[in-house]
Structures are given as structure tokens and as C-alpha cells.
Amino acid sequence: MGDVKKTLKDIGSFMKLPGANLFITKTADLFNWANKSSLWPLSFGLACCAIEMMATFSSRYDLDRLGMITRASPRQADLMIVAGTVTVKMGERIKTLYDQMTGPKWVIAAGSCAISGDHYRHVYSVVPGVDWIIPVDVYVPGCPPTPEAFIDGIMELQNIISNGKSNPTFNSVDSERPNIDEIKVKKKEILFNENFIDGLSLINKCKEIKSEGYDYINFITATDFEDSLVLTYLFTKNNNNEKVEINVKLDSSKKIDSITQIYPGAEWQEREVFDMFGIEFKNHPKLERILMPDDWVGYPLLKDYKMEQAKLPYRPSREDYESWKTKL
Ligand code: SF4
């Protein structure tokens, strides 16, 4: 950290006069000192990182000593800590909340999901970094960041404020930034430029990847682009964290070879993709639903999935709710 203006002594000088004390400083420095000493964050969280943020606000870490008191209304908050995965759906709400906050205002992107979308950056519903929607002043890496990292990020923001930064903070977001619909289009472009292989060569490709030392499969996921389904595989070398990703565009049969013989850890991941997207993994040892009940109708992450399917075992009707209420 650089030269930090921490206390009143650092931003001016005290003089003792007969019968009075005098403090001389610049108003800009005084306002910066006041701003950094009384950050009021908006209390909201998006995913697992928010749990760590809550721990940071607990008595053990005592953020009150930094002048931080969470506010339940954006009108009273001047700091937004974006902790968790930002979905496109939530992105619109985040932008509204940000615009409702008073200025000057600041944003901390906490955790790799908020910074870049991280594991989910290729998922069609996830924004690849909250700075696509609102300006960010400090990035706190981690999955999730520890409370110490949160506090470090907050102190870094205090530094920035001490040094007079109040932009880009007033009013609303830079008009150059893409809106949510543009993000969806851009995400599709990014994905289709990624490393694609033919589905028939998947097994050989996975053997090759494993022989190169990528011994861990991070995830298998799918994206429904309406005109096609795309499977994404991510592998890691455990010794140096190097990663490689492959994508496969499926044909209308929605079938592909299982890679469980090469990567046993793919077993439950393929089941999950089957459960959510209906993709059939040939030669999988036990291709059954894993999250939804066995008799569930449809595949919930397909774009054409209808919530009003005929058979929804876990979704009681309005009448059911009404009758339960009378029994309470
Ligand atoms: S960065 Fe990790 S801990 Fe944070 S929201 Fe994403 S997956 Fe969860």
C-alpha cells in the first residue's frame, strides 16, 4: 500500500492558540478523510462469497472500527460490495441498486465470480464480471476471499478515497458499457471462438489431455444456445494449476461418449448435465437423475423448458398452499 492519509494529523496541522485549538487543512482532504472513515455498505449478497462477507462483518473482525455500518437501503449506502456470482437476471437489479445509491459511491468486486464470472463465465446466464454493468474501484480475488482479504480490499479502497478518488462514482454508469442484452450476444461470440473439437474425437482428446498431466476435471457443463447445445470441459494440472478447456457442439441426437473411464470424477458431473439438459452420455455407469426426482418431466436448464409441465412433483398448487394454511 502506498502513502496512506489515515488520521486527521496526516491531512492537516493542529495549532494551540491561547484559549482555542486550531486545525488547518484543505476541505477536499477533510471530505476525503470523512468519506473513507465512514463507508456505509449496502447489505446484500449474491452467492457463497456473501457468506464470507457476512463473517467479515461479524464481531470477530469488527468492521465497525473502520466506520462501516451496513445499510438496508441503497439511498443510505455509499459502498456496494458485490459478493457472489452475478447472473444476467440479477445484473439488472444490481444496476438499479447502484443507480439508487447516493454519490460519491464506490464498488468492491469480491471473489472471482464477481470479478470475471470464474467457473461460470461460459454459462449463458452469468455476467463475466460485474464491471460489465457498473464501475468497480477495487477487486478482491479469491473463491471465496477470506475475511482478511475482504478487509485488505476495504483498506485499499480507503487508500483510494484518501487520495481523492471519487470517480467513476457520481450518478450512473458509463454510457459506453454494454447493456444486458449486448452482454448475452457478446458471451455467445466469446464462446464460439473458444477451442472446439469434434464430438467423435472426444475420448482420444481426453486421453491426450490426461497424458499431458491434466489429472483433474474441474467441471463439465452445457450451454443451450437454442440452435445448438454446447458441452464445455475444463481440466487442470494439479501440480501447477494450469488449465485447458475444450468445447463440443452436439448434434440433434444430444448423445456423446462418457469420459468416466478416463476421468472417474466425471461420473456425477455427467449425471448433472444429463439431469439438467437431457444430454445422454454413452457408456456412463449409472446415468440417472441426480438433482431432480426420478420421475421429473423435462430438463430444467433447457431454454424451452416449461415451468407449467404436467407433472411437477415438488411444486404444490395454490390450492395446496391454501389448504395447508388452514391447518397451521
Ligand atoms: S467466487 Fe467462489 S465462493 Fe465466490 S461466489 Fe464464486 S464460486 Fe462462490
The Å distance, Cα 131 to ligand 1 centre, comes to 16
Report helix, strand or coil for 234: strand
Which ligand 1 atom minimizes the distance to the CA of 47? 5
- Give yes or no: residues 127 and 262 share one domain: no
Pocket of ligand 1 from Cβ distances under 6 Å: 47-49, 84-85, 111-113, 118, 143-144
- Give yes or no: residues 205 and 325 share one domain: yes
8-state DSSP, 81: E
All three cell numbers of 183: 452482454
Which ligand 1 atom minimizes the distance to the CA of 48? 8
Which residue, of 126, 151, 185, is where some domain finishes? 185
Rg of the chain in Å (alpha carbons): 25
The answer to whether the beta carbons of residues 80 and 134 sit under 8 Å apart is: yes
- Give yes or no: residues 206 and 59 share one domain: no
Which residue, of 185, 202, 230, is where some domain finishes? 185
- Give yes or no: residues 229 and 265 share one domain: yes
Question: In sequence order, which residues have a C-beta less than 8 Å from that of residue 271 and are 6 or more positions away?
Answer: 284, 286, 287, 288, 289, 290
Q: For residue 228, which amino acid is it?
A: S
The Å distance, Cα 154 to ligand 1 centre, comes to 18
Which residue, of 155, 185, 215, is where some domain finishes? 185
- Give yes or no: residues 124 and 268 share one domain: no
Is 82 within a domain?
A: yes
Q: Ligand 1: which of 143, 150, 234 to mutate, most ligand atoms within 8 Å of CB?
A: 143
- Which residue(s) pair with 140 in the sheet? 110
Is 60 within a domain?
A: yes
The Å distance, Cα 313 to ligand 1 centre, comes to 31
So what's the pLDDT on residue 163? Answer: 84
Is 165 within a domain?
A: yes
- Residue of minimum CA distance from atom 3 in ligand 1: 144
Residue span of the structural domain in which 42 resides: 8-185
Q: How far apart are CA 154 and CA 123, in angstroms?
A: 30
- Residue of minimum CA distance from atom 8 in ligand 1: 48
Question: In sequence order, which residues have a C-beta less than 8 Å from that of residue 64 and are 6 or more positions away?
Answer: none
pLDDT, tens digit only, all 328 positions of the chain:
445 556 778 888 888 888 888 888 888 888 889 889 999 999 889 999 999 999 999 989 989 988 999 999 999 999 999 999 998 888 888 989 998 998 889 999 999 999 988 878 767 778 888 888 888 999 999 999 999 999 999 999 999 898 887 665 433 444 555 566 676 666 556 555 567 889 999 999 999 999 999 999 988 989 888 788 999 898 999 998 888 889 999 988 999 999 999 999 999 999 999 999 999 999 999 999 998 888 888 888 888 887 655 454 444 456 665 665 666 5
The Å distance, Cα 286 to ligand 1 centre, comes to 29
8-state DSSP, 143: S
- Residue of minimum CA distance from atom 6 in ligand 1: 113
- Give yes or no: residues 159 and 219 share one domain: no
- Give yes or no: residues 310 and 214 share one domain: yes
CATH number of the domain within which 139 lies? 3.40.50.12280
- Give yes or no: residues 64 and 203 share one domain: no
Q: How far apart are CA 233 and CA 266, in angstroms?
A: 10
- Give yes or no: residues 157 and 24 share one domain: yes
The Å distance, Cα 25 to ligand 1 centre, comes to 43
Question: In sequence order, which residues have a C-beta less than 8 Å from that of residue 307 and are 6 or more positions away?
Answer: none
Is 88 within a domain?
A: yes
Whole-model pTM: value is 0.60
- Residue of minimum CA distance from atom 1 in ligand 1: 143
8-state DSSP, 145: P
Which ligand 1 atom minimizes the distance to the CA of 142? 1
Q: How far apart are CA 26 and CA 12, in angstroms?
A: 8
Is 2 within a domain?
A: no
Return the beta strands (E) in the chain as ranges.
Answer: 12-17, 20-25, 79-83, 106-110, 138-140, 196-197, 216-224, 229-236, 243-249, 255-257, 280-282
- Give yes or no: residues 72 and 209 share one domain: no
Report helix, strand or coil for 235: strand
Which ligand 1 atom minimizes the distance to the CA of 49? 4
Is 143 within a domain?
A: yes
Is 3 within a domain?
A: no
How many structural domains are present in the chain?
A: 2
The Å distance, Cα 111 to ligand 1 centre, comes to 6
The answer to whether the beta carbons of residues 206 and 193 sit under 8 Å apart is: no
- Give yes or no: residues 174 and 84 share one domain: yes
Is 44 within a domain?
A: yes
- Give yes or no: residues 215 and 324 share one domain: yes
CATH number of the domain within which 296 lies? 3.30.460.80
